[in-house]
Amino acid sequence: MDTFRFAGPLIRLLEPERAHNLTLWCLKTGVVPSQKPVISPLLKTSLWGREFSNPLGLAAGFDKNAEVVQPMLDQGFGFVEVGSITPRAQPGNPRPRIFRLAEDQAVINRMGFNNGGAEAACERLQKLKSEGYKGLLGVNLGKNKDTAVAVDDYKKGAQLLAPYADYMVINVSSPNTPGLRALQGRAELQVLIGGVQETLRQNLGDKAPPLVLKIAPDLTEADKEDIASVALELKLDGLTVTNTTIDRPDSLQSVHRNEAGGLSGAPLFEASTKVLGDIYRLTEGKIPLIGVGGISSGVQAYAKIRAGASLVQLYSALVYGGPALIPLVLTELVQLLTRDGFSSVTEAVGADHR
Ligand SMILES: Cc1cc2nc3c(=O)[nH]c(=O)nc-3n(C[C@H](O)[C@H](O)[C@H](O)COP(=O)(O)O)c2cc1C
């Protein structure tokens, strides 16, 4: 039974951040039942030497403190990305800082990396690893608001958390930390990626997890070219495309449309998929991409895969569709792959470019 069909409208009566905290509590205490996974050989995919049971993951920001990794894997995701985690705990921006744009099937957030810090996350991930978990885990790193030299924070995060991650993400694309997105420039990226790669090599050698960079959708052609060329030059393992947008499309209906922060959900789909396709082309399909932004159906997951994504993620659609969305997306994806004669997700990656 889809409990969310009944619980969802009630949860949505609550202020969004309270609703989210209640959801986390329900997941932590085991009130939310697991869902039957969608198992298909078509969905299995191998990336970075890791086996994903399916290519659909939970995007960063839902589980900022790595508290509900196993419960979210039990909802049917192939992987869960925790964070963004900063070295020191910080409160984030004043509330209210999340807004539902229900008419637009969208969300605006200006959380500002509220999280319990890397050491608390480390303890949880240590415990999780020792207990064993079914699925794969991404760890997304951010910087503290008051840190002047950004690379130091990403190095600290990598040093502490890399031993527990199946992949690591450098997040330089949240619109809610002043100056963060300026780190997407060519010179800044070279220092940042080079620095974190060095830390990973020194600490873990060939056991270091793959390193991924998460980028914004609001980029010029020159920005995208710079990112692609640095990624190729430094042999980055992956790019996550994209974070939320600071753009406000004219189509938005909700009274919250002019709230400051990053917009996610349905209105982000087209713009983020366009950037995904551009980055795939500019990196010549040589760097694995994680496609995220506005996915709420198998059709959209498939569109991201065809545009170049090896893996996909979602977050905002869960606010409106609840966990039942996960098997729906995956079932529809299997149907689309079958219809088009693909025998695996991997075969369909970048199909639109061929
Ligand atoms: C409330 C909220 C908080 C988020 N926090 C983070 C974060 O801490 N780090 C990050 O990299 N992305 C964060 N994101 C962005 C998502 O990971 C994702 O890139 C974006 O929402 C687009 O996907 P969606 O349309 O499926 O939500 C957040 C998104 C939302 C809605």
Report the atom number in ligand 1 closest to the C-alpha of 314: 26
12 carries a ligand binding annotation: no
Report the atom number in ligand 1 closest to the C-alpha of 60: 17
In contact, 293 and 272? CB cutoff 8 Å? yes
pLDDT of residue 180: 84
Write the CA distances from 185 to 81, 147, 175, 223, 226, integer angstroms: 25, 18, 15, 7, 7
Which domains, from first to last, does the chain contain?
Answer: 32-353 (3.20.20.70)
**Residue among 277, 345, 258 nearest 56 (CA):** 345
The rounded distance, in Å, linking the Cα atoms of 223 and 325 is 34
171 within ligand 1 shell (Cβ under 6 A) = yes
Report the atom number in ligand 1 closest to the C-alpha of 266: 25
pLDDT of residue 318: 95
214 within ligand 1 shell (Cβ under 6 A) = yes
In contact, 329 and 41? CB cutoff 8 Å? no
Structure token digits, residue 9: 């409208």
265 within ligand 1 shell (Cβ under 6 A) = yes
pLDDT of residue 1: 47
* Catalytic option among 53, 173, 174, 272: 174
Q: Which residues pair with 56 in a beta bridge?
A: 312
Contacts of residue 102, defined as CB under 8 A and 6 or more positions apart, other chains included, come to 12, 254, 320
pLDDT of residue 349: 98
pLDDT of residue 114: 97
CA-nearest residue, atom 14 of ligand 1:
61
82 within ligand 1 shell (Cβ under 6 A) = no
Q: Which residues in the chain land under pLDDT 70?
A: 1-3
pLDDT of residue 278: 98
Which spans in the chain are helix H?
4-11, 16-29, 69-73, 118-131, 150-161, 186-204, 221-233, 269-282, 298-307, 316-321, 325-339, 345-348
In contact, 150 and 192? CB cutoff 8 Å? yes
322 carries a ligand binding annotation: no
Active site residue 174: yes
